[in-house]
A and B are shown apart, each in its own frame.
Chain A
């Protein structure tokens, strides 16, 4: 009996020692040959379609490493699936910092998920570049190690309304939005613009996320006599409202945010009704002739042919490029401090995404531009404008 117990205890002790302790480094996540970076993203669960962003970053890492890395160091990329669950995101953030020891976190889809990790990362002085959502949480209060890039939803809605009202001459504008934080940020921006010009929305219709019958919503929009309707919703509701309004013969000019800028996808789920949609964009169009886009498309064929070349896939590259540029500018002597310094002086840097400018500790919202496009019947987007500044 005693012997058996001893074996048992011995086994227990053994399991304690099988995992090796982490080695100490001068700068966390930076070795002579490697720079460790991490990103969480929903690969499964309700938000899985946005998971493409984190996989897109992987492609950028592969391209950079093939070219020999940065100052003799290759990037090592860790992608973790948080299933859009905040509890998991925080576990991943801790794993990144305490176990893997990453130099920085890049990207990361989701507000609630990122919010559980924000304070932890900041307390540990882990650089976090560009959470992939355009909310104020990332820049209020300003954090030294958190650099935001995604255009703010509020400003985007403000400017989109201006574009419809001033440039395209739509005077009767209605809004269809999802009754949640995301939709409300859209309404906020739209109404802020209209208030400035002392006009009102002709109609404001909201839908619950769980609503599946939008026929009354469509009727309200039709009866308002709106010439243009701005929608601030998720893909499902966008498809539902387009189907309903088409059924009752209401065909206004639709406009929407960059979260629905994946026109190929939207064209599919709306069965062609997406044609004519005006939307803002935060990155070059999929078929763009931009030299970097050409290069990335070739790399995509080579490294990740299984992926669809959609905007949210290469968004993972667009939202990581300035980070990489910062690492490049920081030089061989890469530390958190030198990276932050390099980022703070970044001015009008542009890859395939929107131009990025930071100014010291005052401004951590690097991305301030979008451009507008109109969806053609073949699902491609026709570019209407150059980059327009939306955030002052």
Chain B
């Protein structure tokens, strides 16, 4: 079944017709999703939240290329996210470029910084690299804060985007972001399957062995950083426009850590896992406090929290549940959500055995 006869068969996007059919079904689902969300408020979602999830998914996929596939840690992705966001807005606002040019340019500038950050990564590993990237992330926001050009600490208001003369609404953003996301995800899948991706994986498994086999470490490590930064930068540009307003303060360390957590919870070294991780984490982060609206349980939890924890009310419970879900996933399924998926699939296929 799974025998590959040549290279091209191995890098095929759809391994079987079943996968092809399901992928098409999934795309159809994505196409009608905003309609479902608007009409039925499915799971309390709004199109805006779906947009935010999609943007985070692009970041998670980009970060996973670096962390999950190349084995280089980054705690500074909020920095790339900020670079993408600010440069895209500046290109539209000050330079007057159309959005469709500004966005890839923002990603490109972000990837240049990714390349630069990749250079010290050649010599640093593990916790040392974590510290270096962490410093990078903080340096970016501090720099932006002090440059009036970037709006200083006050931030920038992203100009409105127009589609055929009418201002774009969430639903238009949805289709734009989703098309970009689908292209970028397919790009990532292809990248990982082909020569470059194999080099990344070889570096992750053992960089010395990889070098011995002819993988150019300098080239591929910096490339991994650049590609990852490009994904994050593009996502940052989209983020700026769905938010409408950005300020350096919001691209903080916690954001970098949240991105990393999305990748780990979703599953290191899995593209679909990153998407699942980004979806779950973003959704829970925003919607978990809605448990206070459930009748009986909600008010009881609020009272409990106010009495035994702190005056913040339901947020105490939400934060604990959020953390607990993360811990439990990582504890019981080191492969993250992707691991659950594999198990479910296996169970499904071999049922009733």
Contacts and interface: CB of A to CB of B under 8 A. Distances in A.
Interface residues of B, number: 42
Contacts of A115: 155, 157, 244-245, 247
Contacts of B43: 15, 19
Q: Which of B36, B46, B157 has the most CB of A within 10 A?
A: B46
Contacts of B155: 112, 115
In the complex, which range does the number of interface residues on chain A fall in?
A: 35 or more
A17 B351 contact: no
B40 interface: yes
Nearest to B152: A181
Contact of B311 (A112, A116, A118, A306): A306
Contacts of A92: 286
A285 to B, nearest CB: 22
Contacts, number: 98
A85 interface: yes
A86 B243 contact: yes
Given A87-B250, A112-B247, A94 B46 contact: yes
Interface in B246-266: 246-247, 249-250, 254
A256 interface: no
Nearest to B313: A43
Contacts of B313: 43, 55, 79
B239 interface: yes
B243 A16 contact: no
Contact of A43 (B48, B250, B285, B315): B315
Interface in B26-57: 36, 38-44, 46, 48-49, 52
Contacts of A112: 155, 245, 247, 249-250
B286 A91 contact: yes
Contact of B306 (A17, A118, A306): A306
Contacts of B312: 43-44, 48, 51, 81
B52 A44 contact: no
Interface in B306-346: 306-307, 311-315, 318-319
Given A44-B319, A94-B46, A99-B44, A55 B311 contact: yes
A348 interface: no
B348 A22 contact: no
A116 B319 CA distance: 23
Contacts of B314: 81
A342 B38 CA distance: 33
Contacts of B307: 306
Nearest to A185: B154
A15 B46 contact: no
Contact of B44 (A16, A19, A116): A19
B132 to A, nearest CB: 19
Q: Which of A4, A55, A85 has the most CB of B within 10 A?
A: A85
Contacts of A43: 312-313, 315
B311 A307 contact: yes
Nearest to B36: A16
B153 interface: yes
A79 B289 CA distance: 10
Interface in A44-65: 44-45, 48, 51-52, 55
A181 to B, nearest CB: 5
Contacts of A87: 52, 239, 243, 250
B40 A21 contact: yes
Interface string B289-306: 100000000000000001
Interface string A304-315: 001110000000
A194 B315 CA distance: 45
Contacts of B244: 90, 115-116, 119-120
Interface in A102-121: 111-112, 115-116, 118-120
Contact of A16 (B40, B46, B154, B250): B40
A15 B42 contact: yes
Nearest to B25: A9
B273 to A, nearest CB: 20
Contact of B41 (A22, A52, A79, A306): A22
Contacts of B306: 306
Contacts of A52: 311
Contacts of A80: 289
A337 interface: no
A98 interface: yes
Interface of B: 36, 38-44, 46, 48-49, 52, 145, 152-155, 157, 170, 239, 243-247, 249-250, 254, 285-286, 289, 306-307, 311-315, 318-319, 348, 351
Given A44-B319, A51-B312, 7 more contacts: A16-B42, A21-B39, A87-B250, A88-B285, A91-B49, A115-B157, A307-B311
- For the complex of A and B, the 5 pairs showing the least CB-CB separation, nearest first, are A43-B315, A43-B312, A115-B245, A112-B247, A81-B315
30 contacts: A15-B43, A16-B40, A19-B40, A55-B313, A81-B289, A81-B314, A81-B315, A83-B315, A85-B250, A86-B246, A87-B239, A91-B46, A91-B49, A92-B286, A94-B46, A94-B48, A99-B44, A99-B46, A111-B154, A111-B247, A112-B155, A112-B249, A115-B155, A115-B157, A115-B245, A115-B247, A181-B154, A306-B306, A306-B307, A307-B311
